[in-house]
Amino acid sequence: MTNTNRILVIGESQYKVEEEIGHGLHSTVYGGYDLSDNNPVAIKVVNFASGVNGSSLSTEARQHSYWKEIELLLYLQNINPYVIRIFNHDQTDRYGMIVMERGGTFRDTLIQFLRLGMRMPLSYVQKFWSQMVSAIYYMHHAGIVHGDCKPENFIQVGKHGGTLRLIDMGISFELPPNVTSRLHAAAGTPDYVAPEMVHPSGVFTERAKFGYKADVWALGIILFEMVFGFRPLQYLGNSERKISFLGRLRRDMNIPYHPDRELRDILRRCLRSNHRRRPDTEEILNHPFLTRPR
C-alpha cells in the first residue's frame, strides 16, 4: 500500500488514510481517521511479501510476527493501562493491518523544550516518568521485558496529550516465573542500551544475559534526558563508540549536579552499571521522587 488520501476498509470499518507517520523494516504507519466518528487513528500496514527492504524473512514468518504482535497487544491492553490500544485489525494475502490510537511521541515533547531553550519542570517530569515506569511495571508483572524503552516508544494521547501509551513490542520477550533475566539476542537503541547487553569487546552479543533491569536502565536514561536535556552518551557521537563505551563500563554512570536530592538518588540507583544493584519498577514507584508532590 503506497497511496495516501484514500479510503481503506478494515473489517467492516472505513478509514481515511492520510500521511505516513512512521515506518520500520517490515511495516509502514499512516495517520488517518475513522470515518464513523472522525476520530484520529494510526494504521500500521505490514507487508507480508518476502524480501521487502532487503529482509530475508519469509511470508510465513512475517505473518507469524504480525499475529504475535496483535495477540500480545490485545492481552496487554486488558492488564496495562499504559499500553497502546488496538481498535481494529484485519489481513489480506499481501498485508496485515492494525488500527491503533494515534498520538505524538514523547520525543516530540523533548524536542519542543530544547527548541525553546527550556528545562522541563520537575512536576512535568514526575507526571510523565511515573507513567513510563508504571507502563514497564505492568509489563514486568506480566513476565515481559520490553527491551527498547525510549521516548520514541511512548506516545501522548488524551486531553492535551497528558496520557502516555507504550508502543512497539517488536523485540520484547517473556521470562518464566521467578526468573529475572535470561540469554537473549541483544538489540535496542545504543543510547538506551544497558551495559549487560554489550560484550566487553564492545559489540552486541547474540546471546547476552539480561532482563527486567535492562528496562530499568533505559528508564533511567529517559529520566536523565528529561531533566538535563541530553543523553549521557550523546557526546560520544556514533553508535559504535557508544556500544564500545558500554562494553567497558565498570563504574556507575556519572550524574550531573541537580538541587533535588531525591531526583539524584533515583537516577543513581537506575544507572548502576551492575544490574543486580538497580531497583525494580515497584521500588521505583515507591521512591520519594515519585511519591512526593512536585
- CB-based burial of residue 261 (10 Å sphere; 0-12 exposed, 13-18 middle, 19+ buried)? exposed
Short-list 255, 148, 252, 151, CA closest to 204: 148
What is the spatial distance between Cα 164 and Cα 226, in angstroms, rounded to a whole number? 15
CB contact set of 135 (below 8 Å; sequence gap of 6+) = 80, 82, 83, 154, 164, 165, 166
Q: With beta carbons less than 8 A apart as the criterion, state whether 86 and 100 touch.
A: yes
44 assigned binding-site residue: yes
Q: Residue 114: which region, alpha, beta or left (left: phi > 0; alpha: psi -120 to 50)?
A: alpha
In Å, what is the CA distance from 264 to each residue of 14, 204, 217, 278, 283? Answer: 50, 29, 14, 14, 16
Helix (H, G, I), strand (E, B), or coil: what is residue 14?
strand
Question: Dihedral (C-alpha) 122, 214, 147, 184: value to the nearest 10 degrees?
Answer: 180
Backbone angles phi, psi at 97, to 5 degrees: -130, 135
Q: With beta carbons less than 8 A apart as the criterion, state whether 157 and 185 touch.
A: no
Residue numbering of the annotated binding site for ATP: 44
Residue numbering of the annotated binding site: 44
